[in-house]
Amino acid sequence: MEFDLNKLKKRASYPFETVAVGLAFSPEMEQLLAEAKKITDACGSKLILIHVGEKTKEKEKSLEDILFRINIEEKKVKLIWADGDVVDSLLKLCKLNIVDLLILGALEKENILKFYLGSIARTVSRRAKCSVLLVTQKKPSQKSKQKVIVNAGADHPKTIHSVNAALYFAKNLGINEVTMVHEVHVPALAMAMAESSSAPEVTKIKKEYSEEESNKLHSLIAKCNTGSVKINEKVIKGKPGYAIRQYAETKKADLLVINSPDTHLTFLDRIFTHDIEFILADLPCNLLIVHSRV
Amino acid sequence: MLKFSHNDLFSLLITVGVMLIIARLFAEIGKKFKLPVVMGEIIAGMILGPTVLGTVNPEVFSFLFPKESGAKIALDGITSISVIMLLFVAGLEVQLQLVLKQGKTAIYTSVTSMLIPFVLGFSAVWFIPQWFDYETNHRLVYALFFGTAMAISAIPVIAKILLDLNMYKTRVGQIIMAAAIFDDLTGWLMFSLILSMLGKEGEITNIWYTVVMILFFGLFMLFIGKKIIDRALPWIQTKLSWPGGVLSISLGLCFLSAAFTERIGLHAILGAFIMGIAFGDSAHLHEKAREIIHQFITNIFAPLFFVTLGLKVNFIQNFDFTLVTIVLFLAVICKLLGASLGAYLGGLPKRESLAVGFGMNARGAMEIILGTLALDAGLIDEKMFVALVIMALVTSLMSGPLMKKMMT
């Protein structure tokens, strides 16, 4: 199987023209497909269903029944049955089919061993060259207003693409309010200020940092295509990844949107947890990882 | 049996009170001239110690610091506890994920800024022994120590310089911090190994036993201890009194860990340092808790520790111009070369690479702690100690202006 990498390079992170769903035939598959239908209907996307594993009559029947129940026309869906390593096959098929968004089901929390060794959904999230939506087992929210939180780390070049992708997603799904969160973490600042800064100096430094970060966030949002979506701005302090995870959990968010990882994440990144690994360790809600391909 | 008498208590209280106030006074005067706080504290020690007070008025000096008394033993205990706590707060800021996050440039800078000074420092002792004065049977340990002394950095002073220059959040600032964290970690592990190799009576003990124990303890804390602390911290911070709960539990565990490493033949500082890493690494540790721990230790125990340095040594009698020049020259060249080369190979432009080199060159309080422990262990003499203290202060003073020059 050959694929043209040039088609993927610099491809915009949105619109989601092609959406794929990784099927594991778990009890949550119906919920996952219902979420996929909602997104593809809203974004006008082409839907691809991928299962890496043995093709059996039972699986075919089960899928047919679910598709019927949630009103997906089977002939409008591209169904791929593949063999081999699940992660590698999924990633390869996504590249081949120029998938813009891959939807996968994920446990909110893996057991320690599985987390360190890497579960399928989390490994794909770390390595995918397209955006990934991890759908947790939480029951879909019945609230009229969906809470969407976007990690708007204003210092990162990828963020503008992620924010715009989040806004595109929100607009298409009829979500009219999004919270943009900018995390601030200055390591060893407490140590730097401890010995020789007076109380007014400490207050001044903290205030300046806070204002500087708020301005950054504000400038970032000014550059985005917000349209009619109401934007809330929030600057939070704490370790990147961890702070926004906690914030999303506290605010009972329905969706958290973040940048894709910058580097190839390894076992070490799970030992010395940082950024996305804090979120993958314990998903606070559904997670959209935007791959901006820049 | 030596009893801690009423007079000893009186003497100890006077001593500690005077030390804290004089240290603060000189730290504040130094601050007016943009000097590091540690410099003011050491000057306070020199004034209170044999260098000035002991020479000018020996009676007052003997009254404040009686030689054979319970107060002296108690003060020694306080300074030992101080150094353990200083290593604990140093560990609190070791966040290895910063090194991973900053990528190639930080990794190159970290490794070369550690390796090149270490190798050059080690080689200087090994191949030019006439420059140094040490016991011949301690040649390997001395060379390892000097290499480590050349390689170590000082996160507190570097962080303060970056803050003053408003470079904290710049790319150069982040790389310097990441590399300083790596150098501190490897430097203190190395130094613990050296101290453990020296053994209790100054004899060289089995190096493999020490290496295995350090690895065992380090890995245990990294994989299990860190997880337990991470799980317990939210409970500690919400269910126990604030901030008393987190303060007592963190320092309690610091002392227990220090006691454990001391007991198994490693130095107590290693236990404190690693416990600091385990606490500091937890994302659950509130920033406010971190601030309180820093404030508590930096403003009470650090001054006591640095003032006692001035009490230990006569800085004028033990000032050896040649040795000071050699140590200073080697320290600056080694660190500048190592850190700048790593930053340059990692992709930074020339001037920014040099700025990284000058930033990493600041040794500050960490070098002085290293020197003090080596002096107490009998590994180095007073002359080398004075040379290391001067090197630490000079490199800390030159770091900021030279970095600024490179960045403008």
CB atoms B93 and A188 under 8 Å:
yes
- Chains A & B: contacts with CB separation below 8 Å: 79
The pLDDT of residue A114 is: 66
pLDDT mean over A85-106: 93
The pLDDT of residue B189 is: 86
Q: Is the peptide bond before A15 cis (omega within 30 degrees of 0)?
A: yes
Contact A97, A18 (CB under 8 A): yes
Q: Which residues of A fall within a CB distance of 8 Å from B302?
A: 195
Using a CB–CB cut-off of 8 Å, the residues of A that contact B are: 112, 155, 186-196, 205, 237-239, 242-243, 262-263, 268-269, 271-275, 278
Three-state DSSP state, A22: strand
pLDDT mean over B203-231: 81
Alpha carbon distance A78, A16 (integer Å) = 16
Tell me which residue of A75, A65, A11, A15 sits closest to A40, measured CA to CA. Answer: A15
Q: pLDDT tens digits for A55-65?
A: 999 999 999 99
The pLDDT of residue B23 is: 92
Per DSSP, B348 falls in state -
Tell me which residue of A151, A161, A157, A147 sits closest to A239, measured CA to CA. Answer: A151
* Predicted confidence (pLDDT) at residue B232 exceeds the cutoff of 80: yes
* Predicted confidence (pLDDT) at residue A7 exceeds the cutoff of 70: no
Calculate how close chain A gets to B122, using CA atoms only, in Å.
30
Mutate to test the interface with B, among A116, A155, A191, A268 (most CBs of B within 10 A): A191
CB atoms B93 and A187 under 8 Å:
yes
Structure tokens at A141: 């929210």
Tell me which residue of B145, B143, B149, B152 sits closest to B110, measured CA to CA. Answer: B152
Calculate how close chain A gets to B27, using CA atoms only, in Å.
8
Q: Which residues of A fall within a CB distance of 8 Å from B169?
A: 155, 186
Alpha carbon distance A140, A136 (integer Å) = 9
Q: pLDDT tens digits for A157-197?
A: 888 889 999 999 999 988 888 999 998 887 777 777 776 66
Band of residue B51 on the pLDDT scale cut at 50, 70, 90: confident
Q: Which pairing describes strands A286-290 and A131-135: parallel, antiparallel, or unpaired?
A: antiparallel
Residue of A nearest to B162 (CA): A192
Percent of chain A past pLDDT 90, that is, above it, reads 43
Q: pLDDT tens digits for B298-309?
A: 889 989 998 988
Alpha carbon distance B60, B48 (integer Å) = 9
* Predicted confidence (pLDDT) at residue B192 exceeds the cutoff of 80: yes
Contact B362, B157 (CB under 8 A): yes
Please give the mean pLDDT across all residues of chain B: 87
Alpha carbon distance A41, A37 (integer Å) = 6
The pLDDT of residue A85 is: 92
Could you say which of A188, A274, A278 has the minimum Cβ distance to residue B155? A188
Calculate how close chain B gets to A198, using CA atoms only, in Å.
10
Could you say which of B169, B227, B298 has the minimum Cβ distance to residue A195? B298
Q: pLDDT tens digits for A235-269?
A: 998 888 999 999 999 999 999 999 988 878 877 77
Structure tokens at A54: 């043995």
* Predicted confidence (pLDDT) at residue B115 exceeds the cutoff of 80: yes
Band of residue B203 on the pLDDT scale cut at 50, 70, 90: low
Could you say which of B96, B156, B299 has the minimum Cβ distance to residue A192? B156
Tell me which residue of B388, B393, B331 sits closest to B40, measured CA to CA. Answer: B393
Q: pLDDT tens digits for B12-40?
A: 999 999 999 999 999 899 888 878 788 88
Q: Which residues contact A121 (CB under 8 A, 6 or more apart)?
A: A22, A104, A105, A106, A107, A134
Q: pLDDT tens digits for B73-104?
A: 899 899 999 989 998 988 888 877 777 777 78
pLDDT mean over A187-210: 76
How many helices and strands (H and E) does chain A possess? Answer: 12, 10
CB atoms A194 and B294 under 8 Å:
yes
Calculate how close chain B gets to A49, using CA atoms only, in Å.
35
CB atoms A268 and B100 under 8 Å:
yes
The pLDDT of residue B266 is: 78
Percent of chain A past pLDDT 70, that is, above it, reads 91
Please give the full DSSP string across A162-226, using - where no structure is assigned.
HHHHHHHHHHHTT--EEEEEEEE--TTHHHHHHTT--HHHHHHHHHHHHHHHHHHHHHHHHTS--
Predicted ipTM beyond 0.90: no
Q: pLDDT tens digits for A31-84?
A: 899 999 999 999 999 999 999 999 999 999 999 999 999 988 878 899 999 999
How many helices and strands (H and E) does chain B possess? Answer: 19, 0
Q: What is the separation of C-alpha B261 from the centre of its chain, rounded to a whole number of angstroms?
A: 18
- pTM surpassing 0.95? no
Q: Is the peptide bond before B243 cis (omega within 30 degrees of 0)?
A: yes
- Own/partner pairs for A225-229, CB < 8 Å, 24+ apart? A225/A164, A225/A167, A226/A167, A227/A167, A227/A171, A228/A171, A228/A176, A229/A167, A229/A170, A229/A171, A229/A175, A229/A176, A229/A177, A229/A178
The pLDDT of residue B212 is: 84
More confident residue, A111 or B108: B108
Band of residue B130 on the pLDDT scale cut at 50, 70, 90: confident
